[in-house]
Chain A
Amino acid sequence: MNSKKMLQISGIQEGTVVDHIPTKSTFKVAEFLNLKEGKNIVTVGMNFESKKLGKKGVVKIGERFLTKGEVDKISLIAPDARISIIKDYEVKEKFSVEIPKILNGSISCANNNCITNNQSITTKFYVLSKDPLKIRCHYCERTLGKDDIEVA
């Protein structure tokens, strides 16, 4: 099944499709985007065949478009993800996520004794390496790996 067909099946009129998610990170993407809380209609699919990933996941969100911060956040756990913006049932724009050099405010620091967890300030991380993912907190300088990354 090609991705165009898949998009048609659940047919969202307007919104966003996040495709090419490693299948085990699918729920984490949904969690990162805080989809449980919103009113948007969300479809989460897993274990689709993928040439590149073996199995992949897809998340479709009706009537919502992602911010730069949200796209950055997705790139950390799904570096191969592709994002489609749907308007009037058509793919209006399609792009791959990219891990940025600096992450502003998208995730929180895993160090409890970091100033960002003690006073209300925006987090900032430097990406040291993309694969394996390694980032360093601008404030406490702690190095975090993929498993340490939490939603802000």
Chain B
Amino acid sequence: MNFKNKDIISIRDFSKDEIIHVLRTAEKIENKPDIDLMKGKVMSSLFFEPSTRTRLSFESAMRKLGGDVIGFSDPSGTSLKKGETLWDTIKMADKYSDIIVMRHPVEGAARLAAEASSVPILNGGDGANQHPTQTMLDLYTIIKSKKKIDNLNIGFLGDLKYGRTVHSLAIALSHFNVNLYFIAPDALKMPDSYLEELSEKGIKYVEESDLMKVIKELDVLYVTRIQKERFPDPVEYKKYAGVYQINKATLEGVKPDLKIMHPLPRVNEIHPEVDDTDHAIYFEQAGNGIPIRQALIALTTGMVK
């Protein structure tokens, strides 16, 4: 499998074998870190939209492998303000670095950047579209904690309409033999286009608005934030935000090895009292961003095969 110079733009670009190869590489790197692997290499970190967590995770991943990082964390004060096109910015960064990670508020920006660049582009999020390294770390978290992906019952809870992480993870999981549960209020249901895509791939799914009806069947529960601004009516928001809060009482009678994930930051979807139960793996999940991003950096620059 050759990942050298591959751009990491969308989870749709990956076959099942490629996904598994990334997960295995992350595991190898995590078990046996090589602090000189990226020595002498430079990563451009171009954040056209601020995202502290994603940026720090990428930069930490590169530095822990001995590489250097240049770039900007927010476009103000760069030549972008003077109207430089994305194409030109990438053409320049391409000459300065061995790999480029970027985040951009406009959908499709990363795909365009990949067309401009000769070095690999890692998409750190393009608007509401894709955030493939998040998806990879989510898969890595599932496989690390459950030792498998096939035959799991995986639930998604919260804002499934606008939740980019949910959409991408569902598409990635469609390569595997899984049962999916989409648990959301009517106003925030999983979009039809994604459901159709899953059906075409033969994935069985259930749509449900009441978490308590299905929670006992789940092996993994992926919780997302319900954003207040999605609701025109604040009363409606309160109703849903309250219903979908996970606490110790919610977890009574669930499978003992149910694992709860969350892309973070959380607001009040998961009560802190859940943090010290065996169900909670959301902080490990955030930590898994490092080996996954290291694997993708190492594979696309050709430093690891």
Contacts and interface: CB of A to CB of B under 8 A. Distances in A.
Interface residues of B, number: 18
A115 interface: yes
Contacts of A113: 105-107, 127-128
Nearest to B85: A119
A116 to B, nearest CB: 7
A142 interface: yes
Contacts of A115: 86, 106-109, 111-112, 126
Nearest to B192: A143
A141 B85 contact: no
Size band of the interface chain A makes with B: 10 to 19
Nearest to B112: A115
A139 B105 CA distance: 13
A114 B127 CA distance: 9
Interface in A109-128: 111, 113-116, 118-119, 121
Interface string B77-121: 000000001110000000000000000011111011000000000
Contacts of B109: 115
Contacts of B105: 113
A138 interface: yes
B193 interface: yes
B112 A140 contact: no
Contacts of B230: none
Interface string A136-148: 0111111100000
Interface in B178-206: 193
* Candidate in B10, B86, B111, B128 with the most chain A CB atoms within 10 angstroms: B111
A138 B110 CA distance: 11
Nearest to B113: A115
Contact of B107 (A114, A119, A121, A143): A114
A111 B108 CA distance: 10
Contact of A139 (B12, B85, B108, B128): B108
B129 interface: yes
B193 A119 contact: no
B107 A142 contact: yes
Contact of B106 (A114, A137, A143): A114
A138 B111 contact: yes
Contacts of B87: 119
A138 B130 CA distance: 13
Given A113-B127, A113-B128, A119-B85, A140 B108 contact: yes
Complex A-B, nearest 10 residue pairs according to Cβ-Cβ distance, in ascending order: A139-B108, A140-B107, A115-B108, A140-B108, A143-B193, A139-B111, A115-B109, A115-B106, A115-B112, A118-B106
20 contacts: A113-B106, A113-B128, A114-B106, A114-B108, A115-B112, A118-B106, A119-B87, A119-B112, A121-B112, A137-B108, A138-B111, A139-B107, A139-B108, A139-B112, A140-B127, A140-B129, A141-B108, A141-B130, A142-B107, A142-B129
Interface of A: 111, 113-116, 118-119, 121, 137-143
Interface of B: 10, 12, 85-87, 105-109, 111-112, 126-130, 193
Given A137-B108, A140-B108, A141-B130, 18 more contacts: A113-B106, A113-B107, A114-B108, A115-B106, A115-B107, A115-B108, A115-B126, A119-B87, A138-B111, A139-B107, A139-B108, A139-B112, A140-B107, A140-B127, A141-B10, A141-B129, A142-B129, A143-B193
